[in-house]
């Protein structure tokens, strides 16, 4: 067999006489491929001669198949004549896949969603802002799971030399479903976190007013917690760690040095030390008094500090952030032990409105209004989306 010349084609086109389907056969390997799929897979060059991403070809191929019908004539006649396959309902409007040019997520206002529509009002409705949520018109509860709202899509242009909005015109309305459980959970978790974080920021800045500090619950008598000798030694000898706990509302009774001993004296019968806790943060006092929750939080926080995931040095938070904005409590989260955050998330979730809880229209309106005032209104504490796809 003579050697194949460079540029010589190895593909042979063959048509099946029984079905009329055309295949591309590789003369060297014998592999075959349908002509339509082979064309899509092999044409990887753009019209200008440059390379083009295969994902682009797939998107364009799928778009073209939806627009053009490749159903054989005999099958179309059979389906039209069979009443079992007749479509009696009106076709629902749907969103088509966006082209690659519409996926420019680096530009504000560009189509960064995998859907595109021709109607400009629907296109803009995909982006929901906090301002729209504040002016949402609640319709009713849906299936005892969602709150149906109408959002007004607005377009505003701002002058470069003026702080006021120069023009604002309505471009339509959008129907949005709000997850009632996720929405109420977000409202609750921020209502728990905000006073706790603000109290922490005030306490670590040296404030001594109990009204401004973290709301606490005094424990009389003190509550016992069991720590290892190493953990108790770390807590006893590091004033920064004790101060971190105090700013979050957890205070300890003074531990005698004789009770701590050596942190490296491991293996004896006295490897554990009992410490006494005199106060707890008010928002979590009920949870921390159950079972061994307090002990778990103390051990987890000390572990975070020891492994470097949580810093006991609170000088990294500038005091100038206090009172600057409506959401000035957020910087404190970087110093909050993860175990406390998880307990707050759990408390917010368990006490929130659940699916199948019936809400009146007034309750729905209050829920949406409270949601619009939160810092993160579009996601619950566990990562669930609050608002569903716009219709």
As a whole number, the mean pLDDT across the chain is: 76
Q: Do 182 and 314 meet the contact criterion of CB atoms below 8 Å apart?
A: no
Buried b (16+ CB within 10 A) or exposed e, 31-53: eeeeeeebebeeeeeeeeeeeee
pLDDT score of 6 = 45
Dump pLDDT digits (tens) for 124-160.
445 788 888 999 999 999 999 999 999 887 653 333 3
Q: What is the mean pLDDT of residues 183-192?
A: 95
Q: What is the mean pLDDT of residues 243-259?
A: 87
How would DSSP label each residue in 273-323? EEEEEEEEEGGGHHHHTSTTHHHHHHHHHHHHHHHTSS-S-GGGS-GGGTT
pLDDT score of 72 = 86
CA distance 245 to 280: 9
**Cis previous bond, 203, omega within 30:** no
pLDDT score of 235 = 93
Give the DSSP letter of residue 46.
-
Dump pLDDT digits (tens) for 329-373.
998 998 999 999 999 999 999 999 999 999 999 999 999 999 999
Tell me which of 1-5, 177-181, 228-232 is least confident: 1-5
Element containing residue 153 per DSSP (H, E)? strand 146-158
pTM: 0.64
Q: Looking at the predicted structure, is the pLDDT value of residue 38 above 50?
A: no
Q: Looking at the predicted structure, is the pLDDT value of residue 279 above 90?
A: yes
Distance of CA 158 to CAs 110, 161, 288, Å? 19, 9, 50
């Amino acid at each position: 067999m003579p050697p194949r010349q460079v540029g010589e084609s190895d593909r042979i086109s063959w048509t099946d006489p029984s079905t009329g389907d055309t295949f591309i056969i590789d003369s060297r390997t014998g592999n075959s491929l349908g002509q339509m799929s082979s064309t899509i897979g092999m044409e990887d060059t753009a019209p200008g001669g440059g390379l083009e991403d295969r994902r682009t070809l797939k998107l364009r191929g799928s778009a073209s198949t939806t627009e053009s019908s490749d159903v054989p004539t005999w099958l179309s006649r059979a389906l039209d004549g069979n009443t079992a396959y007749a479509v009696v309902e009106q076709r629902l409007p749907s969103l088509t896949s966006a082209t690659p040019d519409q996926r420019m997520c680096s530009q504000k206002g560009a189509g960064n969603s995998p859907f595109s529509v021709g109607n400009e009002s629907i296109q803009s409705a995909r982006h929901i802002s906090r301002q729209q949520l504040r002016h949402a018109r609640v319709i009713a509860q849906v299936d005892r799971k969602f709150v149906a709202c109408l959002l007004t899509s607005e377009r505003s242009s701002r002058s470069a030399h003026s702080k006021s909005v120069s023009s604002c015109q309505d471009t339509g309305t959008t129907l949005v479903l709000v997850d009632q459980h996720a929405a109420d959970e977000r409202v609750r978790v921020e209502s728990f976190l905000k006073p706790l974080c603000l109290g922490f920021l005030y306490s670590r800045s040296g404030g001594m007013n109990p009204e401004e500090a973290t709301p606490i619950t005094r424990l009389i008598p003190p509550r016992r917690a069991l720590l290892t000798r190493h953990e108790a030694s770390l807590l006893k000898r590091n004033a920064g760690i004790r101060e971190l706990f105090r700013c979050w509302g957890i205070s300890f009774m003074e531990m005698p040095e004789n009770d701590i001993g050596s942190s490296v004296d491991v293996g004896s019968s006295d490897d554990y030390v009992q410490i006494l806790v005199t106060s707890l943060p008010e928002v979590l006092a009920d949870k921390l008094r159950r079972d061994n929750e307090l002990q778990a939080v103390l051990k987890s926080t000390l572990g975070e500090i020891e492994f470097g995931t949580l810093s006991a040095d609170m000088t990294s938070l500038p005091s100038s952030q206090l009172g600057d904005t409506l959401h000035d409590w957020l910087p404190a989260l970087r110093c909050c032990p993860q175990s406390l955050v998880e307990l707050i998330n759990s408390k917010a979730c368990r006490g929130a409105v659940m699916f199948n809880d019936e809400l009146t229209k007034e309750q729905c309106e209050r829920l949406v209004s409270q949601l619009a005032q939160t810092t993160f209104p579009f996601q619950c504490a566990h990562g669930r989306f609050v608002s569903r796809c716009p219709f």
